[in-house]
Amino acid sequence: MGDIARLVAKRLGLGLLTLLVVSILIFFAVELLPGDLAEAVLGQGATPETVAKMREQLGLDQPAPLRYFQWLGGAIQGDFGVSLISGERVSETIGPRFRNTLFLAAYAAVIAVPISIILGVIVALLRNSVFDRVANVLTLTSISSPEFFLGYILILYLAVNTGMFPALANLREGMSLPELLHRTFLPALTLVLVVTAHMMRMTRAAIISLLASPYIEMARLKGTPPWKVIVRHALPNAWAPIINVVALNLAYLITGVVLVEVVFVYPGIGQLLVDAVAKRDFPIVQACCLVFAATFILLNLAADVGAILTNPRLRHPK
């Protein structure tokens, strides 16, 4: 147990170090943008006195390293500053949007994860068959298609032509769960089509690799039924790569929803990020980027820990 704790602590330390580096890149990338932020907020008609007052109010008269540490200290406490456009606290603006993004990601994951694992096992058992070839063509098509393209195709056929689902994922307070699931089905389906293809192909590759192992051949020679070979022998040893793939795709579901949210006008953190970039609301841009980075690093850490716990060779490295 001590080895596992040390490995997890090491992964956690590397994750925190990565997040620190990413926070530096996020902050100073905004600092390197051309133009004066105070002048951008006040407009071209601002006088030098008002620009100087705004720079003092925003803290721009202080050195950049000092402002970074102040921003990082506030971010650790959940305080990302104030929006330049609305004047509201950034954390209060991001909170509801991030919950909406998490709901959309969870909605897609509940559909995609079991389907991709089951299809991956079936395709591995039927490899080189017609079903396998058709599945490979469909998954490659899904992977090669950008999310916004898939989203517009779904809008055309399932919203415009048939009217089965709304084209825009407009949300309001007090919506029932069935209505919420109905309104968000198209953006969730867009994410499902992309991540299912990735997870299914990786599950198929993991199962096929294990089916060539000597112990699998021995189980077959003993007359073990094919389904029992998969369930009792191959699948338990395939959990490590499968968990890794699932965790990485869950990270994509949360951090890669920007285009999907824009296409369906879904009120998530991705849509908020795009709006903030268009309005040059840099405190919200920095906060959204840091939240995305922290989520991605956390899920990558979960993938590493899951792989360690399910693979004895990783728990006891030579």
Residue with tokens 């009792």: 232
Q: Which of 39-43, 46-50, 292-296 has the lowest mean pLDDT?
A: 39-43
> How many structural domains does the chain have?
1
> Does residue 227 lie in a domain region?
yes
CA atoms within a 13 Å half-sphere pointing along the CA-CB vector of 40? 15
Average pLDDT of every residue of the chain:
81
> Does residue 9 lie in a domain region?
no
Whether the predicted pLDDT of 28 surpasses 70: yes
Return the pLDDT at 268.
87
Centre a 10 Å sphere on the Cβ of residue 318 and count the other Cβ atoms it contains: 3
Whether the predicted pLDDT of 148 surpasses 80: yes
> Does residue 309 lie in a domain region?
yes
Whether the predicted pLDDT of 318 surpasses 60: no
Which has the higher per-residue pLDDT, 313 or 125? 125
Quick check: 307 and 244 in contact, CB under 8 A? yes
Q: Can you tell me the distance from the alpha carbon of 185 to that of 189, in angstroms, rounded to the nearest whole number?
A: 6
Q: Can you tell me the distance from the alpha carbon of 98 to that of 269, in angstroms, rounded to the nearest whole number?
A: 5
> Does residue 75 lie in a domain region?
no
Return the pLDDT at 243.
76
Whether the predicted pLDDT of 317 surpasses 60: no
Return the pLDDT at 302.
79
> Does residue 85 lie in a domain region?
no
What Å distances lie between residue 60 and 10, 31, 53, 307, CA to CA? 37, 10, 10, 45
Hey, what are 79's tokens? 């305080």
Average pLDDT over residues 128-146: 84
Return the pLDDT at 315.
60
Q: What are 263-280's pLDDT values in tens digits?
A: 888 888 888 888 888 877
Quick check: 68 and 24 in contact, CB under 8 A? yes
Q: Can you tell me the distance from the alpha carbon of 231 to that of 123, in angstroms, rounded to the nearest whole number?
A: 15
Centre a 10 Å sphere on the Cβ of residue 279 and count the other Cβ atoms it contains: 16
- What's the angle, vertex CA 187, arms to CA 171 and CA 121, rounded to 5? 140
Whether the predicted pLDDT of 314 surpasses 70: no
pLDDT > 90: what percent of the chain? 2
> Does residue 29 lie in a domain region?
no
> Does residue 162 lie in a domain region?
yes
Which has the higher per-residue pLDDT, 16 or 41? 16
> Does residue 4 lie in a domain region?
no
CATH number at residue 183: 1.10.3720.10
Q: What are 193-226's pLDDT values in tens digits?
A: 888 888 888 888 877 877 777 877 787 788 777 7
In the chain, the N- to C-terminal Cα span, in Å, equals 17
- Residue 176 confidence class, pLDDT cut points 50, 70, 90: confident
Q: Which domain holds residue 141?
A: 99-315
Hey, what are 211's tokens? 């089916």
**SS3 state at 45:** coil
